[in-house]
Structure 1
């Protein structure tokens, strides 16, 4: 029996809007919460960040900051101009006078310092703000808005117990299976998923169009259309890449994320949207296909973790091809083969943080996914025993999750060492 209530809960937990790359935005949110508890503007800010936070904040433009990048920018603008009530849209609508204060603060590097936080958690940060004779430390861990502790002058003013901080707020995902995801998407009352999926379509199409019509980063999306023609495969890759071009380089437009990532949110949605429009597929069928693509990606990322050395564009592209294959009339076996073929091909793509080249990795992952589906349709899929391919899609995804979530831990540490060497 399909656990409809849990699948709905997962969708609504994961498909939320975020402005800018989620790691700098999480840092800005944590910093804004610290300033709120301090009750006055900080005189000094100290950031302690896990390696993966450093990796994902280091090179990406923070929206609303006139092209500024990095940890200091996110922390200072969050503290001086952010609104913690807006969560992952904390930097939306920042007052101009507060932005000028943040810019002036950043002119004094000694006022904001950054340290590498040694922790087992991938997503972990502590922001310490000092001002008015008081010191506040806000700690965020595991999820992008999961504040676990706020301390003022050495005393806790908020502390979340472990159960409240994660398990009680997020649905357990161990029940998820690809075949169940397909049946859920086909049978759920569409009104129960319409709002979150429609918001994803609207937000992600808007930022993709922004990337295709303006100059952002390396302009991967625009370049694909200009040099590779306008065939369906190219349109699919260009739409997602252009969204990433814009998001990584400071677009103010929000993205509806997937598994804590805007790049993954765009990769699971935009290719499916482009395919449906190209084929004149009814809108309600598109909504169901996006349920499939989103949940398939979430299912994979549950095993991998939110942050790792494994590029999330791969799991998102594999989710996207499940939605496309379903729209194309593929049966369960062909859909599973398309996902498996994608994972067999590009599961080795490394995550070296958020930055303009993410758009190229998205395009590469989608190219592999589209080829994987063509292989499945032609009956040429990779077989069990071919490398990491196992007997059945659940076993293959579990194997990839084990490699990415456990086997690549040391790889992640080396990537971080290489990225911050000399900084």
Structure 2
């Protein structure tokens, strides 16, 4: 898998899903993802939280910057507009943050009082963010990420140990040398400089327990300044002679044949994201395709996912599947046409409302006068052949009787006689 390096800029001619996937593969500790617009931010957030089951937090004001600085790990999203806001001075910043360091003196009861002043709520089970409880000489904190908690142990009036752990797995923990606790009910006196102008002071005044790894998702004029502060990874849509192209491909698959060839490619790893999981599983089964393909069912709200390929891994979404199976068909015929394609195999008997019973041979792509269309090739008695457009499959059904049928010639009147006798 492609690994992103800090202080590097990458070509960003990809869709939001490929961004989320690549960033997921490269995350470390705490991450600030900066977007060019709120629309892009929200789209990314939906993808991230649904597919990776990881929460993200949107930073929109100065107080939330403090929360970001105080958090140990996680994914934070913002837009470039945040950095044009006015920032408050160092005194205000120190007044609204509790900094605890291991082996340093701090009064236990005094810490509890400050948590109450900072509007942290007491909770026996830490079921919500910004809550705390006490166990003897230990204070437990639930941070903005509800699945994580901090455990601060005291020995007399000294901080003895600081742990960050998973609520669902207390054995999954990290020891820290320091921790920052923000004021939740933050009232700030804004200064004359912007957040961007004060970033040197913001980052140096309160060092984070872990190095912040910033991924810059969209290009803008202050990227170079941020690279110096964060050693960030940048993505750009603009011409940049120093940018690195990761070669993420946006696939073009326009026919059932091309889709089948891709799914049967053993060299290519494939994952399908679709609203119709059962339908795709039937399609794979009826076409004798290796069941090792991953299929993830997505809700309607994720319909905007777009397919992409990186290295030997193909992510196939409904943008391709819908285009193949539904393109150029009436809404009324879509379901039946799709179901038939999933049910028939070469050699199966098929009944056409106008042409009696025939044998399905294959799906074929034909170019007629420069227009490419998909057809099913059918065979009658004495090797008569007919090519039926896939768009007309609503006039076709699968032969379901147990005994083998009698085939007729293509232009025979037998079928019309049978139809007339039933009227």
Q: TM-score, normalised by structure 1?
A: 0.29
Q: Radius of gyration: which is bigger?
A: 2
Structure with greater strand percent = 2
User: Higher helix fraction: Structure 1 or Structure 2?
Assistant: 1
TM-score for both structures, normalised by structure 2: 0.29
Higher relative contact order (CA 8 A, sep 6+): 1
